[in-house]
Amino acid sequence: MREIGAIIFDLDGVITDTAEYHYLAWKQLAEELGVHFDRAFNERLKGVSRMDSLHMILDHGGIVLSEEEMNELAHKKNEHYKTFIQQITPDDLLPGILPFLNEIRAAEIPTALASASKNARPVIRQLKIESFLDTIVDAATVKNGKPDPEIFLKAADQLAVTPDKCVGVEDAEAGVDSIKAAGMYAVGVGSKKAMAKADWIIEHPSQLTLKALRGHYG
């Protein structure tokens, strides 16, 4: 059986349901701009940086703005998002995540967080799971966002584990592309359609157990 060298987690939508808060915050902004916004369009924004997401929404609505106006809108979306995440507590860990993190710790498998969010650190603190993560790579520390492999490669490098021994867990199409481009094994949390390129697709994080992962990883 192949040994798992490390497990690298996305945050929003995998560990906690902040993907829903990003969706609600973008939807409010898009509606204020008069741009049609639904869940299908939102799938394309998952895993994508704040500024790139804004560009995609503006393109979608055929709106052209100055850099200053775009910075203001990105700030506004983030303020809205921050009001949602203020309330986060350990109860907001998605079902199955804490038992999985405990299993990983017991098996002494190194772990990392690879999140495109500049809000990742406060969210992790509020969830009280810092001790389960050996290293954190967030948007502030990489040049190229997902789907570029940089963020997952940096996490592997910080853990001193080669990419071919790493498992990445994602809920975003851009995230799965990033994991695969890094040469890692991808677990996709979500629909078969959105997660089509993942090596193992699960509908919900509660399906994450080491036994099931090892069974698929081989």
- Residue 187 and residue 170 in contact, taking contact as beta carbons nearer than 8 Å: yes
Annotation marks residue 52 as catalytic: no
Q: Give the nearest distance from C-beta 140 to ligand BG6 in angstroms.
A: 9
Place of tokens 């399906």: 207
First to last CA, the chain: 6
Which residue in 179, 124, 201, 174 sits closest to 7, CA to CA? Answer: 179
Nearer to ligand BG6, 4 or 14 (CB): 14
Residues near ligand BG6, by CB under 6 A: 11-12, 19, 22, 45-50, 53, 78, 115-119, 139, 172
Distant-in-sequence, close-in-space partners of 8: CB < 8 Å, separation ≥ 6? 111, 112, 113, 114, 152, 155, 156, 159, 166, 167, 168, 169, 179, 184
Nearer to ligand BG6, 4 or 179 (CB): 179
For residue 53, the partner it binds in Mg ion, ligand BG6, none, with Cβ less than 5 to 8 A by kind, is: ligand BG6
Residue 120 CA to residue 202 CA, distance in Å, equals 23
For residue 24, the partner it binds in Mg ion, ligand BG6, none, with Cβ less than 5 to 8 A by kind, is: none
Which is the catalytic residue, given 12, 138, 177, 199?
A: 12
Annotation marks residue 10 as catalytic: yes
Q: Give the nearest distance from C-beta 11 to ligand BG6 in angstroms.
A: 6
Nearer to Mg ion, 22 or 106 (CB): 22
- Catalytic positions, written as ranges: 10, 12
